[in-house]
Structure formats: structure tokens, C-alpha cells
Amino acid sequence: MHRQYILSLISVLLISSIISQSSIPPGSFSITRIHYNGGGDWYADPSSLPNLLEYLSSQTSLVVDPIEKRAKIGDDIFYESSYLYLTGHGNISFSDIESQILREHLLNGAFLHADDNFGMDKSFRREMAKVFPEKDWVEIPPDHDLFTIYKQFPNGLPKVHEHDNNRPQALGLFEDDRLLVLYTFESDLGDGWEDTGVHNDPYEIRLAALEMGTNIVLFTLSR
């Protein structure tokens, strides 16, 4: 009887999982967090992407998969993902093979948003120089569509946390006119997306971060 009960319970859980997954329409917008090597906390700000996805679902007409995906560079999920996200506080390291795979995936149409968390800047710039050695970071000006497509940001990126007291910058790597990589430097949007009690940021700061995140998503999808 005990064994039969366990088997029945497993069946119910499997059916519930299938129903839950099938309720997400095919083609729904999703975000995949990159699980990189090097020792940095690639999993930082765990509530950030779910909160951004919830905001996108409630405030726009996008059909959204509310569950953040996670993948190592070269995984099946990685290749299936067109919107990639990377953050963390420590060291980031890409192997030569990972650098080539990431390069090809981005050139083939994918997009990467890297969000500066305190401590990742030096290693991130170093690793991206391996991915695109021929490209230089370009600062995206406040009059760019990135800052106007959903909400107006006349001064560019909002400042969420101080870090090294530098001004926030939206830095891009482009292929012709197409933005391949957006690096939100000294802004820390991810901290602003987190649950209210994590950093105790004022409502206005959190809202600005979510609105800017929405701008980035809608701009990327409009390309």
C-alpha cells in the first residue's frame, strides 16, 4: 500500500509538472542566466529576473515565461536562448571554446545583457575582449532608442547603487548597427529588480530599474 501511494504521488506530480509547463505558450519571452566559471557568484540577485519577468508580464503585452532559465555556454538551453543575462560580484572566466561559442551565438542573433555587480568589471571586460577582440565598447547616448522605447530616461541609465562612485554608463558592442552586448556599468539594475526587503531601495529607485529593464527587453525584441 505504501509503495502504491508513493507511485500515485509521483504520477500526480509528473502530471502537474506537465500541465504547468504546457500552460506557457510556445515562443514566450524568456531570459537565460549564464552560469560561468571563474569563481564569481553567477547566481547573484536570485529574485531579480523573476521580478523583472513578472513586471514585463503585468505591464506590457509580452507573453512571458516567468521562470528564469540557467545555462552554461554551449548547453542545449544556451543554444535555445536568444536573450542572455550575466551578473555577479567576482571573477568571470570563459574558456577559449566558450568564448568562440558565445561569439558565434551573438553574431547569429542572440543578445547579452551584462549587469555590473560590484567586483565583476575587470574580469568581464577581460573575457569579452577574448570574445570580440576586434570590438571596442561604445557608450550609448541618452537620446538612443534604448532610453525611450518604453519609458523616457533623458539622463541615461538610472543609478541604483554607488559601487565606485562612477557615473552609470550603458556600454555596447555592435555589429554594424545591431547591439550584440549591452553592459550596464555602475548602475546595478539587478539590485533594483530584487525583492523590496533585500536592499531596502526606495520605491522610485526600484521602479526606475524595472522600467529600464523593460526598455532593454523591448528594444532588443524590436531589432
Answer yes or no: is pLDDT of 11 > 80: no
Residue 16 pLDDT grade (very low, low, confident, very high; cuts 50, 70, 90): very low
Give CA–CA dist 140/131, Å, rounded.
Answer: 20
Predicted confidence at residue 163, as pLDDT, reads 64
Answer yes or no: is pLDDT of 138 > 60: yes
Identify the residue whose cell numbers are 555602475: 186
Q: Which domains does the chain have, with CATH numbers?
A: 27-221 (3.40.50.12140)
Predicted confidence at residue 58, as pLDDT, reads 97
Give CA–CA dist 188/161, Å, rounded.
Answer: 6
Answer yes or no: is pLDDT of 208 > 60: yes
**What is the pTM assigned to this prediction?**
0.88
The mean pLDDT value of the chain amounts to: 89
pLDDT tens per residue across span 56-114 = 999 999 999 999 999 999 999 999 999 999 999 999 999 999 999 999 999 999 999 99
Q: How many percent of the chain have pLDDT more than 90?
A: 79
Answer yes or no: is pLDDT of 182 > 50: yes
Give CA–CA dist 156/153, Å, rounded.
Answer: 5
Q: What angle do CA 215, 221, 223 make, to 5 degrees?
A: 105
Residue 119 pLDDT grade (very low, low, confident, very high; cuts 50, 70, 90): confident
Mean pLDDT of 201-209: 93
Backbone φ and ψ for 2, nearest 5 degrees, come out as -60, -45
Answer yes or no: is pLDDT of 154 > 70: yes
Cell output for 196? 523590496
